[in-house]
Amino acid sequence: MSEQLTYRDAGVDIDAGITAVEKMKDAIRRTHTPEVISTTGSFAGLFCPDFSDYQQPCLVSSIDGVGTKVSVASAMKRMDGVGRDLVNHCVNDILVCGATPLFFLDYFAAGRLNPDEAADAVRGVAEGCEENGCALIGGETAEMPGVYKESECDIAGCIVGVVDRAKVLDPHAVQAGDAIIGLASTGLHTNGYSLARAALLGTGEYQMDSYVPELGQTLGDALLAPHKSYLKSVKAALAEGISLRVMAHITGGGLYDNIPRVLPEDAKAAIDRRSWTPPPIFDLIQRVGNVPDADMHRTFNMGLGLVLIVSRAQAPSVVQFFSERGEIAWQVGEIVKGNREVQII
């Protein structure tokens, strides 16, 4: 008779999963608003919204991950940061539609589940949800040997928000002559890490704990700079009656691929590269990795985390408004006639 084979023998430790959930429960519960009517550990999250202040509520959803930034975080044993990054990324994705976040669901998977690592990541998600006024109502923690290597993990999340249909930002409002405003990023945010790691770590010149004078910190700290949420400042602008034509979250694809997503067919974005100052991490990546300009601008946000398009007359007051609220803002270009593309000069 062959020896008995257990699930643990196959590489899955159910007890580790239960331990991880217990470690993250308190953080999850702190995000629960009165609209959450389910409990942690339920088969599904229940959210009962009050839409009485909306004329025609439109649900807005998005799902994303943090890419290979999770590898940097795991190597440095700082998983809570990527949990917050995940939420902020998703918040920004629905914000560009004018939406306010309602609730969030997360997914954490690993080749071999480390309860502390999983709990740190989900606690970060919960903290991000709290900061953005969003309830964490469900998730999944999975151990998947054979899919991930033992030391590998991944995190992803789904967000649902709401906006009045009449307030959805519409690309057809964009006109030639409009100004392009850029809000500063804090670094790479959550995109381009495969290229950054290849450029900076592939040569052996730098390690995660290497102090880099031009960065003023270690390389690992610079790579783990948080993905910024623009929710509070943008909502403040909308509440003040500032008219934003459209917004673009600058993620994978950089300025070249993200701005056209919010342009009408007959418009082009003309961007002046000299009009803003990117964080020094981008220059380091380009110099050490000998990365072409085109690849830099299509891979990274290059220091602009969110782009706003406003009327030319409003541009100075919009820059001033965001600057007064702690954002670094620049007028970086204008809309001209064209074929739904971006020109960087």
Q: Which one of 167, 186, 206 terminates a domain?
A: 167
Low-confidence ranges of the chain (pLDDT < 70): 1-2
Contact 180, 59 (CB under 8 A): no
Looking at residue 1, its pLDDT comes to: 47
User: Which strands, in side-by-side order, build the sheet including 267-271?
Assistant: 246-249, 304-310, 179-184, 329-337, 267-271, 341-344
Q: Which one of 167, 202, 227 terminates a domain?
A: 167
Q: What is the number of domains present in the chain? A: 2
CA distance 243 to 169: 10
Based on the fold, state whether residues 227 and 256 are members of the same structural domain.
yes
Based on the fold, state whether residues 176 and 126 are members of the same structural domain.
no
CA distance 190 to 172: 29
Q: How many residues does the chain have?
A: 345
Q: Model-level pTM?
A: 0.94
Based on the fold, state whether residues 322 and 176 are members of the same structural domain.
yes
Q: Which one of 117, 149, 167 terminates a domain?
A: 167
Based on the fold, state whether residues 195 and 283 are members of the same structural domain.
yes
List phi, psi (to 5°) of 198.
Answer: -65, -40
List phi, psi (to 5°) of 125.
Answer: -60, -45
* 1 falls within a domain: no
Based on the fold, state whether residues 234 and 109 are members of the same structural domain.
no
The predicted-structure confidence for 275-316, as pLDDT tens digits, reads as follows: 999 999 999 999 999 999 999 999 999 999 999 999 999 999
Domain residues for 155? 14-167
Based on the fold, state whether residues 261 and 218 are members of the same structural domain.
yes
Looking at residue 16, its pLDDT comes to: 84
In what helix (H) or strand (E) does residue 306 lie, and over which residues does it extend? strand 304-310
Based on the fold, state whether residues 233 and 152 are members of the same structural domain.
no
Based on the fold, state whether residues 117 and 187 are members of the same structural domain.
no
Looking at residue 264, its pLDDT comes to: 95
Looking at residue 2, its pLDDT comes to: 65
Looking at residue 4, its pLDDT comes to: 85
